Amino acid sequence: MAVITIDKVSRWFGNVVAVNDISMRIGPGVTGLLGPNGAGKSTLIHMMSGFLGPSAGEVTLDGAPIWRNQQVYRQIGLVPERESMYDYLTGWEFVLANAELHGLTDPGAAARRALALVEMEYAQDRKAGTYSKGMKQRVKMASALVHDPDVLLLDEPFNGMDPRQRLQLMELLRRFGADGRTVLFSSHILEEVEQLARHIEVVVAGRHAASGDFRKIRRLMTDRPHRYLVRSSDDRKLAAALIADGSTAGIELDGQEKALRIQAVNFQGFTTLLPKVAQQAGIRLYTVSPADESLESVFSYLVST
Amino acid sequence: MNPTVARLTVRGLLGRRRGILLLVVPAVLLVISLLARGSGQDKHDLAASILGQLSLGTLVPILGLVVGTGVIATEIDDGSIVYLLSKPLPRWQIITTKLAVAIATTWAFAALPTLLAGLIVYGPGDGLAVGYAVGALVSGAVYSALFLLLGVATRHAVVAGLAYALVWESLVGNYVDGARTLSVQQWGLSVARSVASDGMINSDVALGTAVPLLIGVAVAATVAASVKLAGLTLVSEE
């Protein structure tokens, strides 16, 4: 049982606050760290992996501080986001070197096992510089797994992977989680996190926005008021017909845009209602576009609630 | 010493284009020595300008800079240092291993060619060639330690190192007498003087001052680099 505890942690760089008073506990199983780009995910992962000291608060692994404590690496495997590795080494040499650096008793066997785990034996004699992004990612995984760690930290591991590689990696991480290891990965893509992690931590603008079961948070995300921009053959008539229904909270006639700005209460209800109402009233719909579907707006909604 | 760190460092240092760059320094020195030998000028003056000024004054510091920063700054820059640091290795062990590689490389590519250049220009007499070579050994080692520290401490290690090597050692040292006491080149020459026969090599610093300074600076730089590496912060890309 390895547990990473982040206790009232803040981190600032000069005047910029990257992480603002976050507390969370990452236990066994797969946890997704979700947030838009620039939210502070990498800063958090850097602190969890001992490459950044918190400005305030404490980051610990089973009670031991992580910052300036090399002994934690016996338990932690780290897959950094940056691609650069020792490009002049072959995959085999690279993973073997990592095993040796860990001081393992049989580094050769450990390296073989790790490369088999990520299914990279077929390319292990090629120089890392010739690898594709997905291959590099897998060799980096192997180097992180070579000492059989209890904790696996991955910073944006799916970036640049093709769908097949993505599925493979997800399967691997799922297996580790099921084994009782503590797996944490960061992502800015909702669907990735949804497929892999049941437990998620959401970080927005340096703050801890949500924590818990994915489905609950997903519901929060979809149940928020949605805004749409609608153009039709008769905006005023459409507005009158829509406002009568409970799934619409407000409608504004935007004279400049020549469109309706509609605030819907619930996503499902409104999307089925709109075409029905339009059809009944004999109105043609020209444009129906969600005005705030970007991930950032989903996140900022979460923060404000 | 950690053999894996040493192996990775050697391959990173010599494996790429830098390996060829490193060969340029001894090549320049040897070519100039051969040309000088044919010029018929006073042997002793030639030795002082080629070995004292060119080799100890310019080539040794530049090589120390390329090697000292090359053993670590490149890895810090491209982020691959993560793979060394995410291991339960004492940080001083990483530093001393990399320092050993840097010193060995500096010796092979600067001190040894200095000896050869000395033999070409002056011959084996008066302990002159050996003296300059020993001077290159000690100053090369200290430069390696200093520039290794720079490589850990700043992202602009090469610029800072060049500023030190060129501005301080060459310029200020030539015009301000007191500055020479704090010049690695002069410390190296001081050791060289004590090895060669009397009156063969000049230095402004007494041996009793130079040796403690050489050792002190090397040890202090190594300790500082270890401490600095233990708290190395990786800048996040966000």
Instruction: Please say if the pLDDT value at position A295 is more than 70.
Output: no
Which pLDDT value is given to residue B235? 65
The answer to whether residue B220 is domain-embedded is yes
Return the axis-axis angle of helices B128-153 and B91-106, rounded to nearest 10°.
Answer: 140
Which pLDDT value is given to residue A293? 54
Instruction: Please say if the pLDDT value at position A299 is more than 70.
Output: no
Distances (CA, A) of B106 to B30, B66, B103, B181: 16, 9, 5, 23
| Partner-chain contact A82 B12, CB within 8 Å | no
**SS3 of residue A154 by DSSP:** strand
Which pLDDT value is given to residue A131? 92
What value does the mean pLDDT take over residues A187-213? 86
Of A62, A59, A56, the closest CA to residue A45 belongs to A59
Distance from CA of A179 to the nearest CA of B (A): 23
Q: Sheet containing A56-61: which strands, arranged edge to edge?
A: A16-26, A4-13, A56-61, A64-65
Structure tokens at B73: 């700054």
The answer to whether residue B236 is domain-embedded is no
Distance from CA of B81 to the nearest CA of A (A): 8
A16 touches chain B (CB under 8 A): no
Burial B161-186 (b: 16+ CB within 10 A, else e): beebbeebbbeebeeeeebbeebbbb
Which pLDDT value is given to residue B238? 39
Q: Which of B8, B11, B234 sits opposite A46 (nearest CB)?
A: B234
d(CA B215, CA A32): 51
Which pLDDT value is given to residue B233? 86
Which pLDDT value is given to residue A300? 64
Residues in B closer than 8 angstroms to A43, CB to CB, are 236, 238
When divided into structural domains, chain B yields a total of 1
Name which of B9, B80, B86 to mutate to probe chain A: the one with the most chain A Cβ atoms within 10 A of its Cβ. Answer: B86
d(CA A260, CA A251): 7
B87 touches chain A (CB under 8 A): yes
Which pLDDT value is given to residue A198? 82
d(CA B203, CA B211): 13
| Partner-chain contact B238 A18, CB within 8 Å | yes
Question: Rounded mean pLDDT of chain A?
Answer: 88
B76, closest residue in chain A (CA to CA): A84
Please answer whether residues B221 and B161 qualify as being in contact, where contact means their C-beta atoms are separated by less than 8 angstroms. no
CB interface of A with B, residues 211-240, below 8 Å: none
Instruction: Please say if the pLDDT value at position A301 is more than 70.
Output: no
Distance from CA of A64 to the nearest CA of B (A): 14
Residues in B closer than 8 angstroms to A85, CB to CB, are 80, 83
Residue with tokens 């050692």: B169
ipTM of predicted assembly, 2 dp: 0.90
**SS3 of residue A71 by DSSP:** helix
| Partner-chain contact A70 B11, CB within 8 Å | no
Domain, as residue range, for B89: 3-230
d(CA A213, CA B178): 70
The answer to whether residue B57 is domain-embedded is yes
Residues in B closer than 8 angstroms to A100, CB to CB, are 3-4
Which pLDDT value is given to residue B191? 95
Low-confidence ranges of chain B (pLDDT < 50): 236-238
The answer to whether residue B38 is domain-embedded is yes
The answer to whether residue B186 is domain-embedded is yes
The answer to whether residue B235 is domain-embedded is no
Write down all domains in chain A, each with its CATH number in brackets: 4-221 (3.40.50.300), 225-304 (3.30.70.100)
Return the axis-axis angle of helices B207-230 and B184-195, rounded to nearest 10°.
Answer: 130
The answer to whether residue B191 is domain-embedded is yes
| Partner-chain contact B87 A70, CB within 8 Å | yes
Least confidently predicted of A15-24, A137-146, B93-102, B193-202: B193-202
Distance from CA of A101 to the nearest CA of B (A): 6
> What radius of gyration, in Å, describes the C-alpha atoms of chain A?
24
Instruction: Please say if the pLDDT value at position A294 is more than 70.
Output: no
d(CA B100, CA B96): 6
d(CA B104, CA B111): 10
E strand or H helix at A61: strand A56-61
Query: Which 8-state DSSP code applies to residue B232?
Result: P
Which pLDDT value is given to residue B237? 43
Structure tokens at A51: 């490459």
Which pLDDT value is given to residue B96? 97
Which pLDDT value is given to residue A302? 66
Kindly report the length of chain B: 238
Distance from CA of A193 to the nearest CA of B (A): 19
| Partner-chain contact A97 B8, CB within 8 Å | yes
Please answer whether residues A9 and A19 qualify as being in contact, where contact means their C-beta atoms are separated by less than 8 angstroms. yes
Of B74, B78, B146, B52, the closest CA to residue B106 belongs to B146
For CA atoms B119, B121, B125, B126, the dihedral sign is negative
d(CA A260, CA A106): 69
Which pLDDT value is given to residue A305? 53
